[in-house]
């Protein structure tokens, strides 16, 4: 990436965060609705803290007299830092009224000023790497900001809307679900080349894959309702033991954000309460629900490497955050005729895989995030492909998203697979 | 109370609530730091909901076409109502970003307008009673608003201040602690006359009281530190069994809001972090700590009727909310010489008694609050006298404040007693 | 008590414990079904540990060479001792397979041998007092042993019986419930004279009591079912707030040990599952249920001093442990005609009062148990009168039994009262 | 397996269970020390319930008049059955005093009698399969019985011993730890042939494995103490995030069953408290501890297929249950010289792998246990090789043992690996 391109990217990503926050009332920045979520102002402060801590204040970057030597707001370290960076967090992030939103934006502006000054000059290679990681890190928080807000608003009896979705919902009846066959053999997986990738996508290595089939599109709300109507949530034998327990503990009877209305369901969206669209992909299901659905369909979830080898040849294109719909859309009409491969691999919803999140052979934690990507390699499952809340430039075929199997508040959905 | 006096009181109390909220940033209205506390905007909305529900919308008050017939904001009922009024609360009050603060103030203004219109006319006796109860109810929430904010700010690493305290801290060395003797005999306790009192202060009745002695003033921080330094928090035999368990569960080693600094302590106050003043009354202790302290002093806490019979002859005067200090102050110099009775009975800190909160003989729940005062008559202790956060006109000698014995976030302190 | 009488009492009480244990299988001694309960072998060991610790090993009792100097089983101190005696208990009493039952009985025998030798000689006054307390202590554990076993067996799908009850169930239709009036005035309450009483029954002192009425007999199962059928468990306004929460948390829909069978109920008893007898007193209700029932009947529970002043003139006589029924029995026929005072004050079921457990004016903890009776004076309610599981010689009019208001596993029932 | 061999196996396995129970006091059968464990009598009853339910009572096995048609003890179904077989368990297995131990043995005997009668005749193939699975099932419970007892005894202040270990502890200083290199390539893994294997070991399939190295022997207590002394339990960066949390929640500072004594440690064993032997393999560590230890050694845990391909050529031989030591033993002297491959792969301790427990490609749940092996495929890690508590005939190179990563009460230890 050239220095000009880096400057551009920095401005663009930082501006996108601010634009995502624009529809919020001050009150919306302050609270969160569960420990897994963070208040919006924390996302804004934390992504700035990143650049201050790992770039501006990094040893040797700005020298003795630089910003790094005299922290912008020393007390923000405890508030916006994380334990992986050695920060001890003793407060409840969801119960902090200060710093105010204005103060957080002011902090953000000062970090941006210092960063802009830095990026004007000659930037050493290792510093550029840190900036690039910081931008990916911020994009990740853009998606989480929206998922956290959606959860927050969904719990409010007033059912507030974040904003009207732009554009018109596309698509009518979904194309029929087919299975697309893939040959087995040795496949190279993991990040190739020198473009940006997290350490957990490396090293690129070979996997032996048996012939398999992949669903031609995502599972729809309509298909998921069939599962529900045939007793899917009450049939113990369809569920993993931990899933059965999570279902009971959470009182699950439908995907998160489905609200029973008369005989049917409405769906809470970032545009408020909406009728459920049968043709649209089901979203806000846990791994456990995806797995039970697949078993009910006499199928299974794809392994992450099956997914990756199927996606490797496709262009990274789909309904991402920039589309502005903020909800998954029905499979495109193109899929009705002609499209030989699976559609919707990228965008719409993160696709649960059958793969536990584990290190690749020869994995070496590296960079600023090495520690934290490696430390979560227990008890989590891999998802692939990005969602309607994901910035388009954030995703690639080798990207591994990671969640606990009972997580439901992010835009997670289902593609099924079976042996070839 | 004349109608003019009622109008005046309504304006005054409602204005005082708004004035207490004035120093807040919008963010401060939204969050709370524990389930026992409420966000400031809830206090504002709830006290307005009271007047809407029990006055404006009460059957027969405003007639068919009145405000009562078409609710001001129907959706606010779930948000600002309480289970005792039949409202089912399914959300987390500390995780509601909407309605916004501006919307809550707008709701408040509309209720005030309707109330003012109502109070301009002739007001039936039963409606006046409801208004009077509503004003006492609002004063109670004024105190809670400050206690809840103090707890919220105390958990914030930035240690924000609510506002500078007005006036100068008074007092130097506290007068020596003496015991004032009271003769035993039959005493009438409970609310006398026709002035306002809650149903739990009635009926006035007779109690047989043995001779007793009451500490001449409140226990100070300095005295409480002696207890700590002599191992008070580590000596099991000083504590009630439930207190010993609460101490362990909460990790108590000092009163709430004391923060160790070097060899000593600072105290978090509504004016921010302050040096601990040895002469000032100790505050933010639980019943369990007060009880253990008293036992360590070879004394005990007073029964509520001992306190009331001692206070019955005194004028209701002391350091209340209107003083603006918002912290308890050392016993007045007058207490050094001459003052024959106990001082500081009113104001400064709520005084824990040895009395469980139980109904008086012949108690009949009455009025709008009958139900809720009566329903909490289990597992709680009585406190007396009001605090530096209590509006002066809220308290009387017969007033019974009620908290669970492990509560520490309100302005609660210690006066000791012994058998006469 | 003469020395011979003391020897007799010692033999009799210790033998009674062994007789109560006789029907048990070895397995029944080992487990418990909740933390409030203890395994039977713990009751056996603990009551023996008492005599070893507070009598045999007490300083000066047996001299340098006595048993006290070389403990019988040093390792049993941690197993059978209690925190109030300075013992740190780090294990789960319900998960100890050793010492075996035979070892516990052996320990018991060795303590008995040493005690018998001691009691043969001249026994100093203070040692005699300790022995007497120890016997009352053991009687208390006799009742708890049965209550704990009943709870244990009730949770077993096999519904085992402890033993057939002896004698035949008495009584048919209960006499109608009347209210017996008592004049108000000053009454002396608390333990009188020099007979044994716990420190919490002293000092005897005067109370001012308003005229009141007491139910002529205990509330029956039949009457309690009416309360249930009229929605007593679903009507929030009948319940204390803490009671409403306890009801929800425990899923209460009937007294403990009632088991729905078809349209009706069976009752689990120490003789196994039995048909519910409408005429028999309701048993295994919490304070919260008793209080809600009383409110439903437009009555209240009696204050402990009302109960005591009513019981003071009666002989301590009723259905106690020695009767062998182990279930409360319908009010005696005598109550139909003639009996002017309330019946069933003693025996059958412990009667919940409206009184919190608090110290009497001038209370001084004393004796070995002073500490522990005083330390539990928070969060508990007083019950009076003894039950069908209480040894007859354990109870007196001034005896204060104490339980948390949500406790249901002991033989607790209801007598209602109202203002006179 | 011939019918005679099956009869023999049945007698031998059932007898071995009884022999393992022989040293127990009746009290030892009844309790358990945590929810993951079961009382000994439950293991005895449950393994018998298996044969009754899946063999004797299976449709068509014994015909209309057979045992299967009239259950041996209908009420035992709820007590000894499991939810996977459709049994609703509403009681606490650790709080059942009945059925008595004698009754459980009697039940066992009646099942054995019926089984013996059945096995005397001609046994259809599918019934034989069920018997074989039942025997493996029972062997699994033999190991768990001992692990559960060890945990139970370890929590008892009396530190009881299960029995003296037979034989003499072998071995002195452990041979130095080397790394044994294995070439990469495609390896067939999973159960081969027609011998018994669980469904989760199938289908046999190919894996692509990179060159790797395996520790030549198990990690010893001495090596683990170095990790502890260098602060292993306090260094956050060594731990998986979930492990760090489990460590804090459990207060882990050493392996389970290590007891600090002066400067060193004793180890609780089935023979009671013993000095810690530095040369013996460390045991009773969680996956999280094994993983942190490996990271501290700049190594990692082996993948399950690395382990399996290394073990595939070895004879299944090592220190198993039948040895009678019941503790892992130091690596054999043979390992000092000559042994080219890794030693201690079988027996001594289960070896934690880096592999999450997931289905093999093409996995089909089958047999009686298909359901339950498949349902636990979430949140668990694979262990390999068997332990000193495992019956020798229970283990094979393809056998996958499965535990949650925080489990420590079974005989689990560490072998490290690294990239080749």
Question: pLDDT for A202-253, tens place per residue?
Answer: 999 999 999 999 999 999 999 999 999 999 999 999 999 999 999 999 999 9
Check if the beta carbon of residue B385 is closer than 8 Å to that of residue B351. Answer: yes
Q: What pLDDT is attached to residue A65?
A: 45
Q: Which residues of B touch A78 (CB under 8 A)?
A: 157
Check if the beta carbon of residue A56 is closer than 8 Å to that of residue A62. Answer: yes
Phi then psi dihedrals of residue A180, to 5 deg: -100, 130
pLDDT in tens, A61-95: 665 344 455 678 889 999 999 988 889 999 999 99
Across the B:C interface, residue pairs with CB atoms under 8 Å apart total: 67
Q: What pLDDT is attached to residue A131?
A: 95
A14/A133 same-domain check: yes
Model confidence band, residue B64 (pLDDT cutoffs 50, 70, 90): very low
Contact B356 C358 (CB under 8 A): yes
Chains touching chain D at 3 or more Cβ pairs under 8 angstroms? A, C
Lowest-confidence region among B67-71, B91-95, C285-289, D165-169: B67-71
Which residue in D33, D79, D158 is closest to C98 by CB distance?
A: D158
- What's B55's DSSP letter? I
- Whether the link from the prior residue into B367 is cis, omega within 30° of 0, is no
Phi then psi dihedrals of residue B189, to 5 deg: -130, 165
Model confidence band, residue C63 (pLDDT cutoffs 50, 70, 90): low
Mean pLDDT calculated for residue range B130-157: 97
Report the CATH number at residue C251. 3.90.1580.10
A105/A197 same-domain check: no
Q: Do chains D and B touch (3 or more CB pairs under 8 A)?
A: no
Mean pLDDT calculated for residue range C65-89: 80
B186/B91 same-domain check: no
pLDDT in tens, D207-242: 999 999 999 999 999 999 999 999 999 999 999 999
Chain B residue at shortest CA distance from A33: B95
- The token pair at A317 is 């294109």
Q: Is the pLDDT assigned to residue B413 strictly greater than 60?
A: yes
Altogether, the residues listed in chain C come to a count of: 420
- Whether the link from the prior residue into B330 is cis, omega within 30° of 0, is no
For B344, the 3-state DSSP assignment is coil
pLDDT in tens, D100-155: 999 999 999 999 999 999 999 888 988 999 999 999 999 999 999 999 999 999 99
- Is residue A174 situated within a structural domain? no
Check if the beta carbon of residue C256 is closer than 8 Å to that of residue C408. Answer: yes
- Is residue C159 situated within a structural domain? no
C-alpha distance from residue A392 to each of A385, B134, B409, D4 (Å): 10, 55, 48, 68
Task: Identify the CA nearest to A227 among candidates A248, A252, A249.
Answer: A252
Residues 6 or more apart in contact with residue A397 via CB below 8 angstroms: A308, A311, A312, A314, A316
Contact C376 B240 (CB under 8 A): yes
Q: Which residues of C touch D157 (CB under 8 A)?
A: 75, 78-79, 90-91
Check if the beta carbon of residue D377 is closer than 8 Å to that of residue A381. Answer: no
D382/D250 same-domain check: yes
Rounded to whole angstroms, the Cα distance separating C55 from C65 reads 15
Q: What pLDDT is attached to residue D59?
A: 72
Q: Which residues of D touch C96 (CB under 8 A)?
A: 31, 155-156
Instruction: Label the pairing between strands C264-269 and C381-384.
Output: unpaired
Q: What is the CA radius of gyration of chain C?
A: 22
DSSP A368-402: TTHHHHHHT-SS-EEEES--TTS-GGG--TT--EE
CA dihedral B123, B124, B129, B133 (to 10 degrees): -40
Alpha helices in C121-208 (DSSP H): 125-154
Chains touching chain C at 3 or more Cβ pairs under 8 angstroms? B, D
Q: Which residues of D touch C156 (CB under 8 A)?
A: 91, 96-98
D125/D264 same-domain check: no
- The token pair at C309 is 């002043």
Beta carbons within 10 angstroms of residue B372's beta carbon = 16
Altogether, the residues listed in chain D come to a count of: 420
Q: Is the pLDDT assigned to residue D370 strictly greater than 70?
A: no
Q: Is the pLDDT assigned to residue B346 strictly greater than 90?
A: yes
Q: Is the pLDDT assigned to residue D393 strictly greater than 70?
A: yes
Interaxial angle between packed helices A40-51 and A3-21, expressed in degrees from 0 to 180 and rounded to the nearest 10: 160
- The token pair at D364 is 């089909």
Residues 6 or more apart in contact with residue B125 via CB below 8 angstroms: none
Q: What pLDDT is attached to residue A356?
A: 98
Contact C242 B210 (CB under 8 A): no
Check if the beta carbon of residue A342 is closer than 8 Å to that of residue A217. Answer: yes
Phi then psi dihedrals of residue B268, to 5 deg: -80, 125
Shortest Cα–Cα distance, D398 to chain A (Å) = 19
D285/D368 same-domain check: yes
Residues 6 or more apart in contact with residue A65 via CB below 8 angstroms: none
- What's B164's DSSP letter? P
Chains touching chain B at 3 or more Cβ pairs under 8 angstroms? A, C
Rounded to whole angstroms, the Cα distance separating A374 from A355 reads 16
B124/B208 same-domain check: no
- Is residue B159 situated within a structural domain? no
- Is residue D171 situated within a structural domain? no
Check if the beta carbon of residue C97 is closer than 8 Å to that of residue D27. Answer: yes
Tokens 């859309």 appear where? Answer: A329
Q: What pLDDT is attached to residue C27?
A: 98
Mean pLDDT calculated for residue range D52-61: 83
Tokens 């970057």 appear where? Answer: A61
- The token pair at C105 is 């009985």
Model confidence band, residue D57 (pLDDT cutoffs 50, 70, 90): confident
Rounded to whole angstroms, the Cα distance separating D327 from D349 reads 9
Check if the beta carbon of residue C296 is closer than 8 Å to that of residue C241. Answer: no
Which is higher by pLDDT, B117 or A86? B117
Task: Identify the CA nearest to A368 among candidates A32, A135, A111, A160.
Answer: A135
Contact A31 B30 (CB under 8 A): yes
| Mean pLDDT estimate for chain A | 93
Return the percentage of chain B with pLDDT > 70, whole number: 93
Q: What pLDDT is attached to residue C65?
A: 45
- Is residue A168 situated within a structural domain? no
Rounded to whole angstroms, the Cα distance separating D267 from B113 reads 77
Residue A308 CA to its chain's centroid (Å)? 17
Instruction: Label the pairing between strands D185-189 and D205-209.
Output: antiparallel
Query: Which of A86, A242, A379, A381 best tests the D interface by mutation, with the highest count of D CBs <10 A?
Result: A379
Residues 6 or more apart in contact with residue C4 via CB below 8 angstroms: none
Q: What pLDDT is attached to residue A373?
A: 87
Check if the beta carbon of residue D287 is closer than 8 Å to that of residue D401. Answer: no
- The token pair at C129 is 């007092």
Report the CATH number at residue D33. 1.20.120
Q: What pLDDT is attached to residue D308?
A: 98
CA dihedral A18, A20, A22, A24 (to 10 degrees): -130
Chain B contacts to A (CB-CB under 8 A) = 25-33, 75, 78-79, 90-92, 94-101, 152-153, 155-158, 160
- What's C347's DSSP letter? B
Contact A241 D376 (CB under 8 A): yes
Q: Is the pLDDT assigned to residue A181 strictly greater than 60?
A: yes
C-alpha distance from residue C124 to each of A333, C3, C48, C119, C366 (Å): 101, 10, 20, 10, 18
Chain B residue at shortest CA distance from A73: B158
Task: Identify the CA nearest to B69 among candidates B78, B79, B59, B77.
Answer: B59
- Is residue C160 situated within a structural domain? no
Contact A379 D242 (CB under 8 A): yes
- What's C260's DSSP letter? E
| Count: domains in chain A | 2
C228/C274 same-domain check: yes
pLDDT in tens, B145-166: 999 999 999 999 999 999 987 5
Which residue in A208, A371, A379 is closest to D207 by CB distance?
A: A208
The kind and range of the H/E element at B418 are: strand B417-419
Model confidence band, residue A174 (pLDDT cutoffs 50, 70, 90): confident
Return the percentage of chain B with pLDDT > 90, whole number: 83
Mean pLDDT calculated for residue range C230-258: 97
Q: Is the pLDDT assigned to residue A336 strictly greater than 70?
A: no
Shortest Cα–Cα distance, D32 to chain C (Å) = 6
Q: What pLDDT is attached to residue D164?
A: 82
B207/B124 same-domain check: no
Shortest Cα–Cα distance, C363 to chain B (Å) = 10
Model confidence band, residue D334 (pLDDT cutoffs 50, 70, 90): low
Instruction: Label the pairing between strands B212-215 and B179-182.
Output: antiparallel
Q: What pLDDT is attached to residue D310?
A: 97
A120/A192 same-domain check: no
- Is residue A237 situated within a structural domain? yes
Mean pLDDT calculated for residue range B251-277: 96
- Whether the link from the prior residue into D172 is cis, omega within 30° of 0, is no
Beta carbons within 10 angstroms of residue C266's beta carbon = 17
Residue B219 CA to its chain's centroid (Å)? 19
Mean pLDDT calculated for residue range B392-402: 97
Lowest-confidence region among C149-158, C172-181, D38-47, D282-291: C172-181
Rounded to whole angstroms, the Cα distance separating C90 from B350 reads 38
Q: What pLDDT is attached to residue C64?
A: 39
Lowest-confidence region among A36-50, A370-384, C405-419, D334-348: D334-348
Mean pLDDT calculated for residue range D152-161: 97
D347/D216 same-domain check: yes
Shortest Cα–Cα distance, C167 to chain B (Å) = 40
Q: What pLDDT is attached to residue B60?
A: 66
The boundaries of the domain holding residue D59 are 3-154
Mean pLDDT calculated for residue range D273-281: 95
Task: Identify the CA nearest to B354 among candidates B141, B144, B212.
Answer: B212
Rounded to whole angstroms, the Cα distance separating A376 from B249 reads 30
Alpha helices in C199-273 (DSSP H): 221-229, 241-250
Q: Is the pLDDT assigned to residue A57 strictly greater than 70?
A: yes
Q: What pLDDT is attached to residue D173?
A: 81
Rounded to whole angstroms, the Cα distance separating A39 from A93 reads 7
pLDDT in tens, C367-410: 666 667 899 999 999 999 999 999 999 999 999 999 999 999 99
D9/D140 same-domain check: yes
Q: What pLDDT is attached to residue D65?
A: 45
Q: What pLDDT is attached to residue A370?
A: 63
Q: What pLDDT is attached to residue C71?
A: 74
Contact C243 B371 (CB under 8 A): no
Beta carbons within 10 angstroms of residue A271's beta carbon = 15
Q: Which residues of D touch C75 (CB under 8 A)?
A: 157-158
Check if the beta carbon of residue A113 is closer than 8 Å to that of residue A51. Answer: no
Q: What is the ipTM of this complex?
A: 0.95
Check if the beta carbon of residue D165 is closer than 8 Å to that of residue D270. Answer: yes
Q: What pLDDT is attached to residue D128?
A: 93
Lowest-confidence region among A75-79, A172-176, C355-359: A172-176
Angle, CA of D192, D194 and D197, to the nearest 5°: 70
- Is residue D170 situated within a structural domain? no
Task: Identify the CA nearest to A98 among candidates B145, B272, B164.
Answer: B272
């Amino acid at each position: 990436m050239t220095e000009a391109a880096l400057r551009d990217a920095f401005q663009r990503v930082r501006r996108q965060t601010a634009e995502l926050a624009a529809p919020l009332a001050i009150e919306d920045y302050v609270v969160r609705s569960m420990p897994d979520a963070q208040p919006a102002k924390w996302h804004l402060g934390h992504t700035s803290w990143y650049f201050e801590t790992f770039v501006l204040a990094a040893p040797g970057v700005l020298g003795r007299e630089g910003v790094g030597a005299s922290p912008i707001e020393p007390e923000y370290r405890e508030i916006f830092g994380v334990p992986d960076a050695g920060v001890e967090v003793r407060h409840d992030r969801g119960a902090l009224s200060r710093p105010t939103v204005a103060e957080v934006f002011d902090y953000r502006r000062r970090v941006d000023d210092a960063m802009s000054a830095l990026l004007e000059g000659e930037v050493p290679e290792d510093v550029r790497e840190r900036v690039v990681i910081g931008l990916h890190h911020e994009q990740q928080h853009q998606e989480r900001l929206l998922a956290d807000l959606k959860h927050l608003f969904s719990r409010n009896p007033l059912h507030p809307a974040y904003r009207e979705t732009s554009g018109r919902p596309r698509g009518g009846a979904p194309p029929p679900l087919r299975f697309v066959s893939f040959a087995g053999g040795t496949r190279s997986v993991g990040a190739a080349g020198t473009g940006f990738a997290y350490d957990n996508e490396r090293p690129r290595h070979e996997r032996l894959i048996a012939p398999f089939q992949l669903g031609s599109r995502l599972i729809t709300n309509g298909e998921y309702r069939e599962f529900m109507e045939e007793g899917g949530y009450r049939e113990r034998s369809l569920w993993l033991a931990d899933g059965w327990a999570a279902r009971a503990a959470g009182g699950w009877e439908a995907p998160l954000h489905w609200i029973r209305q008369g005989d049917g369901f409405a769906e809470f969206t970032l545009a408020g309460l909406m009728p459920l669209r049968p043709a649209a992909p089901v979203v806000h299901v846990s791994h456990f629900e995806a797995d039970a659905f697949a078993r009910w369909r006499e199928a299974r979830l794809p392994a992450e490497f099956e997914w990756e080898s199927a996606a490797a040849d496709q262009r990274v294109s789909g309904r991402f955050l920039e589309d502005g719909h903020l909800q998954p859309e029905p499979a495109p009409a193109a899929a009705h005729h002609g499209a030989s491969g699976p559609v919707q691999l990228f965008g719409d919803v993160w696709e649960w895989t059958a793969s536990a999140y584990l290190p690749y052979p020869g994995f070496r934690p590296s960079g600023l995030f090495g520690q934290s990507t490696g430390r979560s390699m227990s008890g989590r499952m891999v998802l692939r492909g990005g969602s309607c809340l994901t910035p388009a430039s954030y995703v690639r075929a080798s990207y591994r998203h990671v969640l606990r199997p009972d997580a439901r508040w992010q835009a997670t959905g289902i593609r099924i697979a079976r042996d070839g």
